Structure 1
Amino acid sequence: MTKIHDLPFHKLDLSTTIGVELQYFEMDDSSDSKMEAMGAHRDDHYLFFLVEKGHASIQVEFKERQCQARTLFYVIPSQVHHRINHKEATGWILQVDPSLIPLSYIDIFDHLSFSKEPHLLNTVQFKEWKGILKLMDTKIQEDQDDPLYIPIVHAMLQLFLAMTAKCFNTKPDMSLKLSRPIEISQQFKRLVTENFRTIKKPSSYANKLNVSESYLNEVVKKVTGFPVSFWINQEVILEAKRQLYYSQLDIKGISILLGYDDQSYFSRFFKKITGTSAVAFRAKYRK
């Protein structure tokens, strides 16, 4: 059976030991070719992009996002993305280990991340973000043996994350303070990401979290706006679309990969959730 990580999976700890990596990109055809050569892949970390000048584009989960000058955008762990085109742009790419991001910020970044669009900063905001990244870059390049090296870099990262979370917060009534509901919701979503191929029942996730199914559903719906079943189905369908779009597996192979021995049942499930058949989806996006 094909493993779920048949698409390339990039790990941040292979390139940095402090959980943070910052790169500046310029109008350079060669750098764009390198990114193009990477093809469709996933990361185990968050990617944040700040475009300074020109225009850049990135395809995330079948949709190409267009980033003009002064735009801020991000990709969450495990989202399939590719063809980062920045040959006509300059800007920054910040890679961050999830363990360094407070759960309250993760809730904002991950909430409906599949529909998030780039955020256009005003002139004043842009100067602030650019200033933070330039200073962070300076600190990252300094003496790593200094006992305060990591605390300083991480402190600057927290400032960037807090300001960015504020930009993308679509739930203004939600407190940024870590709460038990937010913590449970994030634990649930991590469990779904790790287990959706083998665990489909809401009650099973509730058991893993040592809470009742009704309480888990209440908490997840309050925090995210959607019930437990939505997120389970969302993860299954998203992975199905990834495989239909990027892999050469047939429908039977994909259904088995996702934990469905009955291809017919999987096909009906896919059509019920998406409104189209798996065959039609593949045909449409592979034109």
Structure 2
Amino acid sequence: MSQQPYIPIHKLQDRAPEGIEIRYIDALMTSEDTRKLGIHRDDHYIFMILEEGDVELMIDFQVFPLRPSSIMVIQPGQVHAYKCGVPLRGWFVAMDALMMGEMVKKSLEENIIEPQPRQVSGAVLQELIEIARILYHHSQQESYLFQATVIHSLAAAFVSLFTSSYAAVASAGPENLSRASWITRQFRALVTRYFRTEKSPSAYAQRLHYSLPHLNESVKQVTGFTVSYWIQYETMLEARRMLYFTDLDVKEIAAELGYEDPAYFTRLFNKSVGQTPLQFRKGAKVH
């Protein structure tokens, strides 16, 4: 495994200042193509539609197979890489969160926390493909009156349909979920946003306007784990990313994650992962 001083972040602004990039994939993606992309994070959302072929996605130490008639969303900050070596047909849409309506963005944050490909019906697949095709067409045109408005409207339609198709309850409110499930989704979304700076369970309870016992009971009922577990889970996941993909030392990683005492961070990591940070990094180097 080749390590770097940091995990590369691919910035959409560098490629598409307008906040959206659409590509149609109709070729053989070789190992060299995917090697160039490498392991990285994005500062934007990636929406994938696979019509034909097979893709393997590595997202945060898990491998997800993407099959024909599947869709997938990768959220900002998730460390990932692609592996595909067969002829592919499909669409790849990179989108800045600013291009999305607030309700759709909130739905993505709260409901699509765990990555997972989704099989969709032929009718839904064709609708998504058609919107992506029209969006691509207008994005490639020479500048015309109201072009930005047209692109924004099409992008909103695409991401709204994609999100509602990706998760059956993506746009559902509390009336369509158990109360505990709704609370848990709100909590998990907050943790992914604030885990670096906020480690106190009571702080999350305050942000959500619930008592800590009520929040703990709800989260444990849905997931089987406590509020403290999920805060530590997100923190240690980021620690593993940094140990695996960067050459930052343990003290630097501890500081990045909000721990002033590297020894305390090491004890927490050992308790969570079953190895010290250096043992984990040493094991990573042989894979």
Aligned equivalent of 2:165, options 164, 167, 182: 167
- Mapping of residues 195-214 of structure 1, within 5 Å: 196-202=195-201, 214=211
Alignment of 1:70-85 (within 5 A): 70-85=69-84
Q: Distance in 1 between matches of 2:83 and 2:18?
A: 25
Instruction: Report the CA distance shift for 1:59/1:165 in structure 2 as closer, same or farther (over 3 A).
Output: same
Structure 1 segment 44-193 matched on structure 2, within 5 A: 44-85=43-84, 87-111=86-110, 113=112, 115-147=114-146, 149-169=147-167, 171=169, 174-175=172-173, 189=189
C-alpha distance in structure 2 between counterparts of 1:166 and 1:173, whole Å: 6
1:256-271 correspondence runs (5 A): 256-271=255-270
**Residues 233-263 of structure 1, C-alpha deviation per residue, up to 9 Å, x if partnerless?**
3431221010122123343442233232333
Q: Following the alignment from structure 2 to structure 1, what is the Cα–Cα distance between the partners of residues 187 and 79?
A: 21
CA contact 2:6–2:248 (8 Å) conserved in 1: no
CA distance in 1, matches of 2:188, 2:117: 27
Tell me, yes or no, if the aligned pair for 1:27 and 1:86 is still in contact at 8 Å. Answer: no
Change (3 A) 1:39 1:175: same
Unaligned runs of 5+ in 1: none
In structure 2, runs of 5+ residues without a counterpart are 176-181
Write the letter of the residue equivalent to 1:154.
H
Alpha carbons 2:112, 2:167 under 8 Å: kept: no
1:18 aligns to 2:18 (yes or no): yes
In 1, the alpha carbon distance for the partners of 2:267 and 2:196 equals 17
The alpha-carbon distance between structure 1 residues 103 and 277, as it changes in their structure 2 partners (threshold 3 A), is farther
- Secondary structure of the 1:248 match is coil
Query: Does the 8 Å contact 1:26/1:86 carry over to 2?
Result: no
Secondary structure of the equivalent of 2:172?
A: coil
Query: How many residues are paired up?
Result: 273
Contact persistence 1:56–1:67 (CA under 8 A) = yes
**Percent of residue pairs identical:** 26
Q: Distance in 1 between matches of 2:17 and 2:209?
A: 39
Is the alpha carbon distance of 1:277 and 1:27 closer, same or farther for their aligned partners in structure 2, counting shifts above 3 Å?
same
Measured at CA, do residues 71 and 280 of structure 1 come closer, stay the same or move farther in structure 2, by a change above 3 Å?
A: farther
Q: Following the alignment from structure 1 to structure 2, what is the Cα–Cα distance between the partners of residues 151 and 86?
A: 38
What TM-score comes out, normalization by structure 2 length? 0.76
- Distance in 2 separating the partners of 1:38 and 1:214: 45
Amino acid at match of 1:214: S
The one of the two structures with greater contact order (alpha-carbon pairs below 8 A, sep at least 6) is 2
Residue type at the aligned position of 2:14:
L
CA distance in 1, matches of 2:111, 2:80: 16
Change (3 A) 1:212 1:52: closer
For 1:7, the equivalent position in structure 2 comes to 7
Contact preservation (8 Å) 1:25, 1:92: yes
Provide the TM-score with structure 1 as the length reference: 0.76
Three-state SS of the structure 2 residue aligned to 1:6 is coil
Report the Cα distance in structure 1 between the residues aligned to 2:44 and 2:195, rounded to whole angstroms: 19
SS in 2 for 1:249: coil
Report the residue type matching 2:130 in the other structure.
Answer: G
AA of the residue aligned to 1:169: A
- 1:150-206 CA-partner distances (Å, limit 9, x unpaired): 2222222222212221223254793299xxxx9xx879957x666543443355668
Q: Do the aligned partners of residues 199 and 175 (structure 1) sit closer, same or farther apart at CA in structure 2, a change above 3 Å counting?
A: closer
